[in-house]
Amino acid sequence: MKKTVFLGALTATSLIAGAAAAATLDDVKARGKLNCGVTTGLAGFSAPDANGRWEGFDVAVCRAVAAAVLGDPEAVEFVSTTGKTRFTALASGEIDLLARNTTWTFSRDTDLKFDFVGVNYYDGQGFIVPKALGVTSAKDLDGATVCIQTGSTTELNLADFFRKNGMSYEPVPIETNAEAIQQYTAGACDTYTTDASGLASTRATFETPSDHVILPEIISKEPLGPLVRHGDNDWGDIARWTLNALIAAEELGVTSANVAEMSASAGTSPEVNRLLGTEGDLGAMIGLDADWAAKAIAANGNYGEIFEKTIGENTPIGLARGLNAQWTNGGLLYSPPFR
Amino acid sequence: MSDSHAQSVAFVRDTVIPESPPPALETGVVKWMRSNLFSGWFNTLLTLAAIWFVFMVLSVVVPWFANGVWEASDIRQCREIMAGSGGGCFAVIADRWQQLLFGFKYPSEEYWRPTLAFVLLFIAIAPLLFSKMFPRWMLVLTALYPFVAYYLIWGGTILAPLVALLGFVAGYFAYARVVRRSFAGAAAAGVVVAVVVWTLGGYVSAAAPGFMAFEPVASREMGGFMLNLILGVVCVSLSLPLGILLALGRQSNLPVVKGICVVFIEFIRGVPLITLLFVANVVLAYFLPPGTNFDLIVRVIIMITMFASAYIAEVIRGGLAALPKGQYEGAESLGLDYAQSMRLIILPQALKISIPGIVNVAVGLFKDTTLVSIISMFDLVGMIRGPILASTDWNGVYWELLGLAALLFFVVCYGISQYSQWLERQLQTDHR
């Protein structure tokens, strides 16, 4: 009997939660702020600067969504989450959007009841080696000692990769990234393997980064993207198409420098016109102003600009576009048409 | 023949030999070194090994400080300036010290408020810690401090802490009026009056949110060492009385009281603190209705306080158990009731015995406040591990930052420890 009451209360709570979650857009508008979940700090992706202002690649997604919905890229309440608290924070409604280099996987999308709205960074597991080793390909690593974080999927990926290529390796098990850097720089292992973006930001912290190279082979798929709660498709659409708008803007040549000019009046390109709201009524279809995309782009620039500013080759992180180039340049970024 | 042997011996000294200094090997530094450092081949070996060890440490640490760089905009510039001299990159501390102390979201023009609260803390606890040196009326300052500190750190209207204070005062007077007739009735009356005052006052302070208000700062904007100090001070001062009650409750003859206390203590002691913190952060968010914003710091304070009070209760129970039965019986034979015998006879002795244990828990608790970094609160360690090491400017500076954290914690914990030793000497009445 007691148990039934308890379960009933739980059901009622989740029903209320569901009802409340069904109108995230209204909640955000009423609040005047977007609650956006980010990491507690990951170089280049999200970290507060000396003045306490959040900066980074994932942060830019939050700001773009806030600009599209509320018209102000600063109207974001950043909620920092750890790897352990991120999903509960989203599921419980504490945050409206999670932009925290989270890998899109089957079980997270289905079993955990989230909706990934796209991919903002295609990551994958890579290798870093000292230049002095003279290795140019991961296929040359036969017999190498490899620093590897135990208990992670990277460990399994590594075993698969070496078995597939008929090579042997000697693992040096380590616990944390900091320990790995220590072991690697001390020469305890020939190579260190983890996500390529992590390798890049790690390399940036070395005294002489140019003495180390990240090998071109990527041995696993880690598509990182923002996600929202399952069940509020209207809100999911807004997040998805804001991300798509940033990607499409790069493809169509809309930048933070020219977006004001281009959205002032209809130009010659119909797709740009539809994107920026000077033609058609795409904004109304998702419950936003006509110039929602223009505001999102004006917040931080288009996808390419954000990439260059936060993690691109001219930053200390120094990531190449690689898979994250537009499809027209041989990458995987491909926004569905704005029509 | 005379008694003297002058004719049988060649020389007899008839003056005292002047005092001469002791042999060089048996005096001063040499003697001290011979007896303390080189008093055998084994000790000599150990001494040489120790000297070598100290030299090795100093040869790294001294240049690290001497060649340290204090002015640079990021780690790359730091390394350029150092040019391999082995110095430390202390510029990160110069650049981010405000974030390390106050967190990165506390408004910078308001830093004086928590600083003032910190200074006032010493004035508030002095009469409590050094009760013999300060007049008793100064305890009023101690009682006022929590409200002042809340007003300073969180800001907002002064009415809110004022109403809270009024509630306590009114509750106390109600209690004092009724307590002669019945203790339980008095406690109930006190609670009722306090709640009435708080409810009425709540309307008043809600109606005038701008009255003598500082800029309000939300709990999630607290951070840095300030957060560690807030959690440490609040939780220690709350868990001590709670722990005493639990310890007494566990010895109670009333089965319900005893049962509750035993279950509480054993449950809390059987669960890791980090689990309780996750419950505070994550699980409560599922059970509370959506939209309720139960302050995260309050949740964490409740959990840490519960955790510490269970440990303190067991420490105090040890003190109670150490008292001979005669003390209890003596108190009863004097005709004292339970409250009087506890207050006048038992607890003063039991608490004195428990001081080292209580201080041990307090020091451990203060250091445990860094665990909140795991539930993404930015305390000192959270600031270092998260935002500062993750910024592209300072990614890779470990020793300097964690060294500073260690220094700050050492100062506080060593201070607590020294105070407790002083207090033990003050309270020493036996003949050891």
A24 touches chain B (CB under 8 A): no
Per-residue confidence (pLDDT) for residue B238, from 0 to 100: 93
Find the CATH number of the domain harbouring B378: 1.10.3720.10
Which residues between 97 and 156 in chain B have a beta carbon less than 8 angstroms from any beta carbon of chain A?
99, 104-105
Which residues between 157 and 186 in chain A have a beta carbon less than 8 angstroms from any beta carbon of chain B?
178
CB contact under 8 A, A41 and B387: yes
The CA R_g of chain A, rounded to the nearest whole Å, is 22
Residue B82: inside a domain: yes
Mean pLDDT of B254-271: 93
Mean pLDDT of A45-52: 84
Residue B407: inside a domain: yes
Per-residue confidence (pLDDT) for residue B377, from 0 to 100: 84
Whether the predicted pLDDT of B182 surpasses 80: no
Residue B140: inside a domain: no
Q: Out of A49, A93, A207, whose CB is closest to B391?
A: A49
B260 confidence band (pLDDT: 50, 70, 90)? very high
Q: Which two tokens stand for residue A197?
A: 């973006």
Which residues between 50 and 79 in chain A have a beta carbon less than 8 angstroms from any beta carbon of chain B?
50, 52, 79
Per-residue confidence (pLDDT) for residue A152, from 0 to 100: 67
Per-residue confidence (pLDDT) for residue A15, from 0 to 100: 43
> What string of H, E and C letters represents the secondary structure of chain A?
CHHHHHHHHHHHHHHHHHHHHCCHHHHHHHHCCEEEEEECCECCCEEECCCCCEECHHHHHHHHHHHHHHCCCCCEEEEEECCCCHHHHHHCCCCCEEEEEEECCHHHHHCCCEEECCCCEEECEEEEEEHHHCCCCHHHCCCEEEEEECCCHHHHHHHHHHHHCCCCEEEEEECCHHHHHHHHHCCCCCEEEEEHHHHHHHHHCCCCHHHEEECCCCCCCEEEEEEEECCCHHHHHHHHHHHHHHHHHHHHCCCCCCHHHHHHCCCCCHHHHHHHCCCCCHHHHCCCCCCHHHHHHHHHCCHHHHHHHHCCCCCCCCCCCHHHCEHHHCCCECCCCCC
Question: Residue B379: which residues within 8 A CB-CB, separation 6 or more?
Answer: B223, B224, B225, B227, B228, B231, B369, B370, B372, B373
Question: Residue A182: which residues within 8 A CB-CB, separation 6 or more?
Answer: none
Per-residue confidence (pLDDT) for residue B2, from 0 to 100: 53
| Range with lowest mean pLDDT among A271-280, B236-245, B423-432 | B423-432
Domain ranges of chain A: 21-122+223-329, 125-220
Mean pLDDT is highest, among B21-30, B157-166, B276-285, for B157-166
Question: In A, which residues are within 8 Å of B282 by CB distance?
Answer: 84-85, 88-89, 92
Residue A173's nearest CA partner among A153, A144, A147, A199 is A147
Residue B357: inside a domain: yes
| Shortest distance, CA B141 to any CA of chain A (angstroms) | 35
Per-residue confidence (pLDDT) for residue A71, from 0 to 100: 93
Calculate what percentage of chain A has a pLDDT beyond 70.
Answer: 91
CATH no., domain A21-122+223-329: 3.40.190.10
| Shortest distance, CA B387 to any CA of chain A (angstroms) | 5
B34 confidence band (pLDDT: 50, 70, 90)? confident
Per-residue confidence (pLDDT) for residue B408, from 0 to 100: 94
ipTM score for this prediction: 0.70
Question: In B, which residues are within 8 Å of A50 by CB distance?
Answer: 95-96, 99, 393
Report CA A191 to chain centroid distance, whole Å.
26
pLDDT digits 0-9 by tens, A274-321: 999 998 889 999 999 999 999 999 999 999 999 999 988 888 888 888
CB contact under 8 A, B390 and A43: yes
Question: Residue B287: which residues within 8 A CB-CB, separation 6 or more?
Answer: A13
Per-residue confidence (pLDDT) for residue B211, from 0 to 100: 74
CB contact under 8 A, A52 and B99: yes
Q: Which domain holds residue B286?
A: 78-106+223-432
B432 confidence band (pLDDT: 50, 70, 90)? low
CATH 3.40.50.300 fits A125-220, yes or no: no
Whether the predicted pLDDT of A1 surpasses 50: no
CB contact under 8 A, B378 and A50: no
Residue type, B236: V
Whether the predicted pLDDT of B175 surpasses 50: yes
B412 confidence band (pLDDT: 50, 70, 90)? very high
B266 vs B395, which has greater pLDDT? B266
Closest-CA residue of chain A to B383: A40
Residue B356: inside a domain: yes
Q: How many domains are there within chain B? A: 1
| Shortest distance, CA B377 to any CA of chain A (angstroms) | 8
Whether the predicted pLDDT of B326 surpasses 70: yes
| Shortest distance, CA B67 to any CA of chain A (angstroms) | 17
Per-residue confidence (pLDDT) for residue B77, from 0 to 100: 86
A40 touches chain B (CB under 8 A): yes
Strand A144-149 relative to strand A191-195: parallel, antiparallel, unpaired? parallel
B188 vs B228, which has greater pLDDT? B228
Whether the predicted pLDDT of A2 surpasses 50: no
CB contact under 8 A, A80 and B76: no
A328 touches chain B (CB under 8 A): no
**CB-CB neighbours of A229 under 10 Å:** 24
Calculate what percentage of chain B has a pLDDT beyond 90.
Answer: 32
| Average of per-residue pLDDT values in chain A | 86
Interface test with B, best of A40, A81, A202, A207 (most B CBs within 10 A): A40
Per-residue confidence (pLDDT) for residue B172, from 0 to 100: 86
CB contact under 8 A, B395 and A17: no
**CB-CB neighbours of A151 under 10 Å:** 10
Residue B51: inside a domain: no
Q: Out of A84, A92, A317, whose CB is closest to B285?
A: A92
B291 touches chain A (CB under 8 A): yes
Q: Out of B105, B278, B386, whose CB is closest to A41?
A: B386
Q: Specify the residue for token string 């319900």.
A: B256
| Shortest distance, CA B96 to any CA of chain A (angstroms) | 6
A98 confidence band (pLDDT: 50, 70, 90)? very high
Whether the predicted pLDDT of A18 surpasses 50: no
Residue B290: inside a domain: yes
Q: Specify the residue for token string 């992180």.
A: A317
| Shortest distance, CA B290 to any CA of chain A (angstroms) | 6
Whether the predicted pLDDT of A337 surpasses 90: yes
